[in-house]
Chains A and B, each alone.
Chain A
Amino acid sequence: MEANKVRESQIMKIHYLTGIAALVVVAVHIMMRLIMPYNLSLEYENVIANYHNMPYAFLLESMLVLIAIHGFNGLRIILLEMRQSKAWESGVTILTIAAMIAIIGYGTRTIIVANGLEMG
């Protein structure tokens, strides 16, 4: 094994930990929908109010990061099992990392804009 290569066990540790942490933050997120009638909690003003609430914005950001890492690593694993060649494996790894970064970037931008913070 190359010295600079990330070990699969380390990736899987991150995978399991992000999965467990995502369960916790999603549970909090769902419970927050229940502090008022469900349909009311999804109204525009309430949604924007959630984004303006700094701890809640952090919760949304952590949810985005945890699910993106866990989900895209899961996708990488599924795709790795489909075909076995050096080019495919490298391609899948690079593409899933790029897609993960793009999703986190776009989601973070949405959270920042909705939070009312100025971009740039």
Chain B
Amino acid sequence: MTDTIEKLERLDKKRSKEHKEKEILRSSITLKILRANRAANEPAHYDTIEVPVQRSTTVLDALLWAKGYKDHSIGIRYSCRMASCGSCGMKINGIPRLACYTKVSELSGDTITCEPLSNFPHIRDLVTDFSQFFEHHKNMQPYIQNENADIKDPAKLSEFMQSPEDVDKFLQFSYCIKCGCCYAACPTVAMDTKFPGPQALAQMYRYFADTRDTAVEKRMEIVDDRHGLFRCHFAGSCSSVCPKGVDPALGIQLLRGHMLGYSSNEKKIAELKERLKK
């Protein structure tokens, strides 16, 4: 468990160090926002809005200022404002990022371009349709499957015994917040709509590697398809844009190794702890 946490802490430190080195301080920026209403067949165009900023202003803060004081019709999806919910994913200066996790001071140039995520059906302004994305995620059966665990009988409910090493095998993949940044950056998704995408495949590996899960064969069958796991070109853009430090490309390659038989598929299944008798 410590390995993954240390890795993420190192990434965080590296990110803040890089940010401090490249920090650009300004008193205002120009937001260039893509505007369109697909349902009304409106042609897409860009609106530019001058926004006052401070050192810690995020792109989401800037967008909300623009929405609050300049044009309240700007369509944005957001919720937690702290990179936990994954709602505010958008293309900022051409790269998929979380608006709440991107400070304006880390972006070069006086104009910041905000566009909806690629590879998602566009609804309005910066809002995209996540139905297909979540459908792919759902198809991966993202939950523990274990016949030995009787979840229907509360009297038999117990816990699985997992070592920190067992947890470390999948921990980083469980940090996914489903923001869709990796999906938007994937060149295969751009071509192949049936391809599950890096998020879904990384989640597949997350449950595949989990020692509490016994549905190894069933899971492999799901992605062993014409448009499945093997359509990944290993561009690696999914991993480079992930705001949470998850490496979906690694998960895909590990899963591919298991599927081709390079790695053993026999995993030690976690045992259920016997309930303590009172």
Give chain A's interface residues, CB within 8 Å of chain B: 1, 7-9, 12-13, 16, 77, 80-82, 84, 89
- Answer whether residue B273 sits at the interface, using C-beta atoms and an 8 A cutoff: no
Q: Is B227 a contact partner of A9 (Cβ separation < 8 A)? A: no
Whose C-beta in chain B lies nearest to the C-beta of A1?
A: B221
Indicate which residue in B195, B224, B229, B259 contacts A1 across the interface (CB closer than 8 Å): B224
Chain A interface helix/strand/loop/mixed: helix
B48 surroundings in chain A (CB, below 8 A): none
B224 surroundings in chain A (CB, below 8 A): 1, 7-9
Number of A-B contacts (CB under 8 A): 37
B259 surroundings in chain A (CB, below 8 A): 9
Contact with A along B188-225 (1 / 0, CB 8 A): 10011111000000000000000000000000110011
Chain B interface helix/strand/loop/mixed: loop
A84 surroundings in chain B (CB, below 8 A): 192-194, 227
- Answer whether residue B231 sits at the interface, using C-beta atoms and an 8 A cutoff: yes
Q: Is A12 a contact partner of B192 (Cβ separation < 8 A)? A: no
A77 surroundings in chain B (CB, below 8 A): 231
B230 surroundings in chain A (CB, below 8 A): 8-9, 12
Q: Is A81 a contact partner of B191 (Cβ separation < 8 A)? A: yes
Q: Bound complex: CA of A89 vs CA of B227, how far in Å?
A: 10
Give chain B's interface residues, CB within 8 Å of chain A: 188, 191-195, 220-221, 224-231, 259-261
Q: Is B225 a contact partner of A81 (Cβ separation < 8 A)? A: no
25 contacts between A and B (CB under 8 A): A1-B221, A1-B224, A8-B224, A8-B225, A8-B228, A8-B229, A8-B230, A9-B259, A9-B260, A12-B230, A12-B260, A13-B260, A13-B261, A77-B231, A80-B192, A80-B231, A81-B188, A81-B191, A81-B195, A81-B231, A84-B192, A84-B193, A84-B194, A84-B227, A89-B226
> Shortest distance in angstroms between B237's beta carbon and chain A's nearest beta carbon?
16
The 3 closest A-B pairs by CB, nearest first: A81-B192, A81-B191, A9-B259
Q: Bound complex: CA of A80 vs CA of B192, how far in Å?
A: 8
A82 surroundings in chain B (CB, below 8 A): 191
